[in-house]
Structure formats: C-alpha cells, structure tokens
C-alpha cells in the first residue's frame, strides 16, 4: 500500500466517528456521537421511505463498527470518555487488521503486474 499505517489508522478512526455521528443525526434525530444512557445503540425508531432502506443497508456496517463494544454500554453510568476510548482501541485493532490484509492482497497483485 502507498499509505502509511499511521495515516490509514487516523483516517479510519475519523471516518468511524463521522459515520456514527452522521448515522445518529440522519436516522435517530439525535445530534450526538453516542446515544443517551438507556437508549439502544443499534436500534432505530420506526423509519419510513428512504430512511428505512438506507438504515437496512448500513446496519451491518454499524454492527461491525460498534457490536463488540456494546458490553461497555451495559454499565450503569459509564463516563463518556470510557466509551470513546473503547471505540478507539477496538477501531485501531480493526484498522491494523484491515491494513495488514489489504497489504497482503495488494503485494502479490503488484508483483504479478496486475
């Protein structure tokens, strides 16, 4: 890959937080990064029309980005930095795995002249 690992992870983290923020603004009518205490993190209200179709398409992405961090939300009253730090750690590991896999795929294709 022509992008450095640090730059890839930084872009991945920024994209993840932007995705969560925009998802909550568009589909939850909630202008915040993380849902309020007691609100379902993966759930959405009953949506109509195009919102329902787009939410259905984006739901698997949200499961991958947020699913493993859901146990942190079951804590009685976690401080907000705790959840953000949990997301940062998980997304950094995920970004490093993706970077490694794409690098493995990219190098043999580059050597073969594809």
Report whether pLDDT(10) > 90: yes
Report whether pLDDT(9) > 90: yes
Tell me how far apart the alpha carbons of residues 83 and 101 are, in angstroms, rounded to a whole number.
27
Nearest CA to 16 out of 89, 76, 67, 91 is that of 91
Tell me how far apart the alpha carbons of residues 12 and 82 are, in angstroms, rounded to a whole number.
19
Q: What are the two backbone dihedrals, phi and then psi, of residue 74, each rounded to the nearest 5 degrees?
A: -80, -5
Indicate left, alpha or beta for 27 from its phi (over 0: left) and psi (-120 to 50: alpha): alpha
What is the pLDDT averaged over residues 85-110? 87
State what percent of residues in the chain have pLDDT above 90.
Answer: 23
Over residues 21-55, the pLDDT tens digits come to 888 777 766 666 666 655 555 555 566 777 777 77
pTM: 0.75
The residue written with tokens 């939410």 in the block is 55
Task: With cut-offs at 50, 70 and 90, classify the pLDDT of residue 15.
Answer: very high
The predicted pLDDT at position 22 comes to 84
DSSP secondary structure of 84-101: HHHHHHHHHHHHHHHHHH
Report which of residues 34 and 8 the model is more confident about.
8
Task: With cut-offs at 50, 70 and 90, classify the pLDDT of residue 81.
Answer: confident
By residue count, the chain amounts to: 114
């Amino acid at each position: 890959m022509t992008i450095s690992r640090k730059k890839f992870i930084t872009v991945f983290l920024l994209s993840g937080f932007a995705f969560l923020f925009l998802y909550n603004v568009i589909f939850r009518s909630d202008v915040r990064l993380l849902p309020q205490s007691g609100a379902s993190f993966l759930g959405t209200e009953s949506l109509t029309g195009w919102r329902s179709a787009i939410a259905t398409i984006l739901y698997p992405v949200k499961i991958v980005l947020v699913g493993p961090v859901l146990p942190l939300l079951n804590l009685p009253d976690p401080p907000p930095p705790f959840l953000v730090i949990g997301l940062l750690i998980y997304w950094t590991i995920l970004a490093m795995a993706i970077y490694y896999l794409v690098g493995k795929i990219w190098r043999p294709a580059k050597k073969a002249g594809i």
